[in-house]
Structure 1
Amino acid sequence: MKAREDVIRGAFNLRLTPVALALPALLATGSGVWAQDGAATGNRRVLEEIIVSAQKRSQNINDVGIAITAFDSGQVRDLAFMQPQDIATQTTNFSVNTLATNVPNFTIRGVGVNDYAINQATSVGTYVDQVFISSPAMMLFQMFDTQRVEVLKGPQGTLYGRNTTGGAVLYFSNRPTEEFSGEAYVEGGNAGYYLLEAAVSGPLSDTLSARMAVNTTQSDGLQDNIITGETHGGMDRTAWRGLLQWQPRSDLDLMFNVHGGEDNSDLNSFTVPGTGSNDSSTGTIDTLDGVPYRDNESLGVSLTVNWDIGPVTFTSISSYDELDRFEYGDSDGQLRDGRIDQILISDIEQVTQELRLANAGGGDVNWVAGVYYGKDEIDDSTVYEVTGAGFPPAAFGLPAPYALIDTLGNAYQQISETYAAFGQVEWAFTDRWSLTLGLRYTQEDKELQDVTTPWSAEPGSGESGPVVSGLLFPPADYEEDFDAFSGKVALDYRLNDDTLLYASISEGYKSGGFQGTLVFTPAAIIPFDEETVLSYEVGAKLTLLEGRMQINSAAFFYDYENLQAQGTIEGGAAGVENLFALQNIGDAEVLGFEVDVQATPLPRLELALGVGYLDAKITDPFVPEVEEDGRPAVSPEWNLNGRVRYDVITAQDYTLYLQGNFNWQDEQYFDIYETPFLLENAYGVVNASLGVDAVDGTWKATVWGRNLADENYRAGGFTGGVAGDVQIYGQPRTYGVSFNYRF
């Protein structure tokens, strides 16, 4: 430990010079912010300015002392970002694990929640048009008509939401336009895949404008069942959004947002070791020809008000969102006499209200202050088809002829209310130096109501009798309150117009809560405590070669306390040795760096390359299954990504270009215990496209291929439950064509 502490102290005693902070860029390069098209300067192409709102106001990304990765609308389209988790492929130190309930879990710099229960918000806050998303189940929305995406790395405990120990991901939709315009996009590929997207925007009057966008994605699926011959994983998704902007006067702007969608897709099946791959499986369910499926519907509205009151801007963001979720998923990954499957039925409702004041900016002092309220209610009922588990009816008090328990479930209602007050001030006390101070107080009250475990049983083979059912224990209620202060101190130094150096100390906080997984006794429902991350970070943002190269680098050390992860409940009932629940498994430390580079070294060539490194270790385990110096889940030591575009022909009216991107990650574990089965080896994925782009931007046509090497990699896995070892794979090779038209 002493040697490790000496390294940290030495790192922060370095003189903040461009050479010291840019040193990692001499060793490796990274992908951060890459404008879709560089701006021409004579015969040279320079990088475009990227505007972000990481500090709740519009700023050039290179003027913000935070590690940020951003994608504009063109990149979102070219990189085939269709769902929120897709951005991880081009973001350093960002990983995603798909767990047993087909819900993505985000991890940034080794900080994330490795749990499949939907009542646990991730440690990475997710925001859509400034509205916080409370449950990971609500992160299954389609990305369409997207203006930009911002990934803020490190704790965001001052300005953003409730659960930001790892970072925040911000998704922004295209806004209504002052002139009539529209866009149509179509994409088609193998396995019956096609995507249709359209948007129309323009004024309705002198003060009113609107935008309507819709997206539908369909496919036959890419995973063939090697036992039944059925195809799994077909897509059937539709999403829509309507924006209405009213500007009755020059100092007042109101944006009304209504959005919704349906997802009636099939699901990929799990596989067991030795069978299946990225295009095959053996998993089945009892209905619909054995193909797992979902039937989800979402609906939401929000109202954003910006009112300039003299030198101060008042902002109000009000929202309501709901999700009705039904999924019939394969859990055991194989065909057997008695299956182990799951039926997930969830209703989620959330209401949020944020009020804030900010000065107009532009002077030596910029500040923002506000209050936040959020309430979410989750009604969750999970039914497990467990005839293959062999639970003895005697353990449930059932006599013969009941040979086996047929179904088990877990049911509960969780209500969470959050209250917060926050403020941040940035003071430029000289032409070169600025100081940022931020503070946030958060209180979260959680109730877990009507928690119980329903069961049912049928008579054994050759016997007769009624289907019987009951509750393993009477419904129980629990309540816990959590509160904490979190803050930030940062110092920025502007060496010149092209060099920003920064150092910060910030703390993120994520409240505790209750497990949302199966239990056999109320004694197993044990509240877990909040987790905190204290971050020390230094970084540099360098613009070089007269605007043709950008190097953004950061080095960080995290003191991670009360890490929340899925742990084991020992001594289960009814013949089950182990059950699982979210709990505090230990303290940890994370030491790492990342380097983001973008460049236009030649007039026709654009490059973006990336590297991230993590040395993440458990320093003080709280549970016996976790080893000291073990790695947190989903935290590869090294990760790389990159993109390249070369304009092969540049004619007067069009450009013929070749574009490619890749991502590679080191080996990682899907669990906190470093289980050998859940060790995923290092792998890489390569994508490419050949396109023709009109110079005036009105149309674009491409031929594309994704996962060209047909890399066989796993996207998640699970072990130790009654279903045994199961795993799920990422998508195999796909290919197709696309066409985009704007007017």
Structure 2
Amino acid sequence: MRRYAIIAPACLFAFSTVAVAAEADPIIVTARGRAEAEIRVPDTIAVYGPAAIAARRLTTIDDFIAATPGIFIINDQDPGTNLISVRGVSTNRNQSPSIAYIVDGLALADSELFTLRPYDVARVEILKGPQGALFGRSASGGAIAMATNDPGPDWGGEAAVGIGNGLTWTADGVVNAPVSDQVQLRLAGSYRNSDGFIRNTFLDKKVDGSISRNLRLKAKVALAEGSTLKFRLGWANEEGGAAYISSGNVTGLYGGKLSGKALTNPFGDFEGRASRTWWGAQATWEQEMGDALMLTWTGGYDDYHKDFVEELDFRNDTPVTLFGVALFPNGIQPIAQPVDIKAWTSEARLTSRGEGPLRWHVGLFFQRLERDRTDDFGPLLFGGEALRAETRSSQIGVFAQASYDIAPQVEVTGALRYDSDRRREDTVGAASSTIVAQRARTFEKWQPKLSLAWRPSDRITAYVTGAIGFKAGGFNPLPGAADVWQAVFPAETTRSVEAGVKGQSADGRVRLSIAGFVTDYQNFQNTVFLGNSVVLSVPQVDVHGIEASAQAALGAGFSVDGGLAWTHSRTGRYLTPNPTPEPGEPAVLDMSGQRTPNAPDWTVNGGIGWQGAAGPAMVDARLSVAYVSRVDFEIDNILHSPGYASVDGRAGMSHGAWTFDIWAKNLLDKRWAISAFGQQQLPLLLGLGPNGPFDSFTINSGRQYGASARVRF
């Protein structure tokens, strides 16, 4: 009971507004399946509208997450590999995500799609805590909902060009074209070309350069009064450097602390490269059924291919030795891991209309995912055949939610969803298609959610919310007689209770709220490298925390905002095989009480802005700082990045149809590690030589700055 008691002091002594957008009051969200004021929603939500996106210059999903306390992302190795943690609930490599990502009302099928470049964005909502009752499996930590701009009734558009360090230049454009009173079109595109920022000292070249090309066409067709059909067709292509990983004995020389002299540039003799192409289509039909009901159906298809090649020694010494034996005369390269994804997604929903005392919706969801990943480990195969994992997933979800005003100031909301995820994985020879292993399992879960909200006025909401979420399990390589892992690992489950208070002043100039939470986190899917990439489930993780932030307009054009999240995420009793046993070391390690990977205890953001006139022009300026405390990259808590802070700034000037701005990210050019693999968790690195053992890590890109011009027409 003691750990649940944290909610009460959190609500009394912390304050948190997670509505950070500075747009018109009230801030409107769709977190519960209908448009409503954010202050009325009994959940923790961060909202970014057009003004906030421009002021903070949020151009990637990494930017949105970095601006939001309580959520953390690692985006490394290649453009599609990302690990997102929300309140200590963490995604692990090659597994299903722990956060649902919804674009224009449709859930993305795989985390590879999460890092496609966002552009022409209308709104982003980030929901924290289990959201399975509405968004289904893989929303065990939370959900990100992104809406892109729909076509409008007026001709017009905008174009923007930008230039920055690293020989980076960008071009973005939007054209809104109403063809008739019934048909409206919107074409948007984004282009980015950069030489990069991280130099490989052996190859004497920058190795993180990239090119990103994106197009989207949306159509809106009025079929009849109260009936609308929407289409979206999108395409993206990216190519550039990948796996620009550094190497060094950080564990032995620096105790695993990735800072200072330990943070070397990469110096391997092989340049990693990645390219990926995505195209997708979506159709949405909305039908008003009188004044009482709205019927919505949306369906989509995604097609994705990624090529990825790297080395695994990340050094230029030859020959490369393994436990003193010169096995690799030319190094451990090339290593290839291509990925192919095809996904079909469909959702139908019936929603009540109006603002009566009872508000509800019911729905049916289906998603089919076909994912193929080839693990061609090159020299490590010693002439053997590469293997391909062919994963097939069919998910069916049925859900319902109802909110009822049991008194003029009291609302109760109940939601329930059942998800069944039938998964099958065949491991086959990449060339011969010989079947090596076949596994199948159905993961299913009822996911309830219950909220009680008290609103003594339109400016205050106090609430208590309880929810359950889950993430499907999966398949390890078939274990041998001496192996310690299981062929099938179980689903993760999160059970969370959150209590909070949201408030704002009568004029909307000050926004505050309170939030505290406790999460019971079971079967955390922790990835280790025991010859193969395998999942060893951690039976119990205990999570609790407090989130706090505030926003205020100070007058004279000045405004301030700030937010913090404290998340205490620790393993329960957990005994696990020693992945790198040496003579005299125990075969089983006690990892109880360890920090969970990629889940910092503290994330803090703050900023000050000013808007005002400068002669005939309008000026909009903002300076902000973000702090992340210690990040542990593996469950042994050895290899870690100490806390770091980053300062960003932007100043824009608008006159008529034109806007000019200058900006900088990581203004003080701080360096830190964004991901790492440690020698105590990966036998390959422990035995690598000459002059080993080594750890491997990726450093951030340092200071970025630039200028842009935008014109509306």
TM-score (structure 2 length as normaliser): 0.89
- In 2, Cα distance between the equivalents of 1:218 and 1:196? 9
2:705 pairs with 1:715? no
Alpha-carbon spacing, 1:357–1:657, altered in 2? closer, same or farther (3 Å): closer
SS of corresponding position for 1:85: helix
- In 2, Cα distance between the equivalents of 1:377 and 1:307? 31
Alpha-carbon spacing, 1:329–1:361, altered in 2? closer, same or farther (3 Å): farther
Q: Could you list the runs of 5+ residues in structure 2 that have no partner in the other structure?
A: 251-260, 319-329, 577-587, 686-693
Paired residue type of 1:610: G
* 1:109 equivalent in structure 2: 87
Is the 1:476–1:522 Cα contact (8 Å) retained in structure 2? no
Alpha-carbon spacing, 1:349–1:79, altered in 2? closer, same or farther (3 Å): same
Structural mapping, 1:255-654, within 5 Å: 255-267=230-242, 269-273=244-248, 280-285=265-270, 291-310=271-290, 311-337=292-318, 338-341=330-333, 342-386=335-379, 405=382, 409-452=386-429, 475-515=436-476, 526-544=487-505, 546-567=507-528, 569=530, 578-621=531-574, 623=576, 624-625=588-589, 627-647=591-611, 649-651=612-614, 653-654=616-617
Is the 2:626–2:647 Cα contact (8 Å) retained in structure 1? yes
- In 2, Cα distance between the equivalents of 1:642 and 1:668? 20
SS of corresponding position for 1:475: strand
Alpha-carbon spacing, 1:194–1:22, altered in 2? closer, same or farther (3 Å): farther
Give the deviation of 1:84 after TM superposition. 1.9
Give the deviation of 1:145 after TM superposition. 0.7
Give the deviation of 1:282 after TM superposition. 0.8
Give the deviation of 1:730 after TM superposition. 1.4
Is the 2:477–2:487 Cα contact (8 Å) retained in structure 1? no
Q: What whole-Å deviation, never above 9, does each CA across 1:238-292 have from its counterpart, x for those lacking one? A: 011100100122211111000011001222510012799889321342xxxxx32
- In 2, Cα distance between the equivalents of 1:262 and 1:518? 38
Give the deviation of 1:124 after TM superposition. 0.7
Give the deviation of 1:191 after TM superposition. 1.4
Give the deviation of 1:36 after TM superposition. 4.2
Give the deviation of 1:100 after TM superposition. 4.3
Give the deviation of 1:652 after TM superposition. 6.0
* 1:239 equivalent in structure 2: 214
- In 2, Cα distance between the equivalents of 1:716 and 1:193? 24
- In 1, Cα distance between the equivalents of 2:119 and 2:262? 30
Give the deviation of 1:453 after TM superposition. 8.0
Alpha-carbon spacing, 1:99–1:186, altered in 2? closer, same or farther (3 Å): closer
Is the 1:223–1:278 Cα contact (8 Å) retained in structure 2? no
2:32 pairs with 1:23? no
Match of 1:728 among 698, 701, 707: 698
SS of corresponding position for 1:429: strand
Is the 2:485–2:535 Cα contact (8 Å) retained in structure 1? no
Q: What whole-Å deviation, never above 9, does each CA across 1:48-104 have from its counterpart, x for those lacking one? A: 332111011111111111100011123323433332232121101111123545511
Paired residue type of 2:91: V
Alpha-carbon spacing, 1:80–1:731, altered in 2? closer, same or farther (3 Å): farther
* 2:71 equivalent in structure 1: 94
- In 1, Cα distance between the equivalents of 2:563 and 2:5? 26
- In 2, Cα distance between the equivalents of 1:561 and 1:451? 31
Q: What whole-Å deviation, never above 9, does each CA across 1:160-197 have from its counterpart, x for those lacking one? A: 13211100011111110111120112111111101100
Match of 1:667 among 612, 626, 630: 630
- In 1, Cα distance between the equivalents of 2:479 and 2:608? 47
Alpha-carbon spacing, 1:82–1:277, altered in 2? closer, same or farther (3 Å): farther
Give the deviation of 1:662 after TM superposition. 1.7
Paired residue type of 1:109: R
Alpha-carbon spacing, 1:11–1:323, altered in 2? closer, same or farther (3 Å): closer
Is the 1:700–1:740 Cα contact (8 Å) retained in structure 2? yes
Is the 1:585–1:626 Cα contact (8 Å) retained in structure 2? no
Is the 1:278–1:731 Cα contact (8 Å) retained in structure 2? no
SS of corresponding position for 1:671: coil
TM-score (structure 1 length as normaliser): 0.85
Q: What whole-Å deviation, never above 9, does each CA across 1:397-453 have from its counterpart, x for those lacking one? A: xxxxxxxx2677431100000011000100011110000011111111001013458
- In 2, Cα distance between the equivalents of 1:494 and 1:704? 41
2:683 pairs with 1:706? no
* 2:19 equivalent in structure 1: 33
- In 2, Cα distance between the equivalents of 1:335 and 1:297? 31
Q: What whole-Å deviation, never above 9, does each CA across 1:520-545 have from its counterpart, x for those lacking one? A: 99996611111111101101111026
Paired residue type of 2:708: S
Is the 1:616–1:631 Cα contact (8 Å) retained in structure 2? yes
Structural mapping, 1:49-198, within 5 Å: 49-101=26-78, 103-115=81-93, 117=94, 120-198=95-173
- In 2, Cα distance between the equivalents of 1:517 and 1:135? 24
Across the aligned residues of Structure 1 and Structure 2, the Cα RMSD in angstroms comes to: 2.5
2:653 pairs with 1:680? no
- Residue identity over aligned pairs, in percent, reads 22
* 1:222 equivalent in structure 2: 197
Deviating more after overlay: 73-82 vs 552-561 = 73-82
